[in-house]
Structure 1
Amino acid sequence: MKVSKQARRDGKTLFNACCVNGLLNEDKVRQTVTAVIAQKPRGYAATLTHLQRLVKLDLDRRSARVENAVESTPAQMENIQAALTQKYGPGMNVTFWVNPALIGGVKIKAGSDIYDGSVAGRLAALNDTI
Structure 2
Amino acid sequence: MSQTSFDDEELFGEAASEMRETVESALADARAALPTADAVWEVEADNTLGVLNSLKGALDTGDAAAQLREAKKQFVIGQRADAFEDADDLEAEIAELEELLGDIEEAHESVSGLASTLPGLRGALEDAGEESDEDEE
Q: Which has the higher helix share?
A: 2
The two structures share one fold, judged by TM-score above 0.5: no
Q: Which has the higher contact order (CA 8 A, sep 6+)?
A: 2
Q: Which has the larger radius of gyration?
A: 2
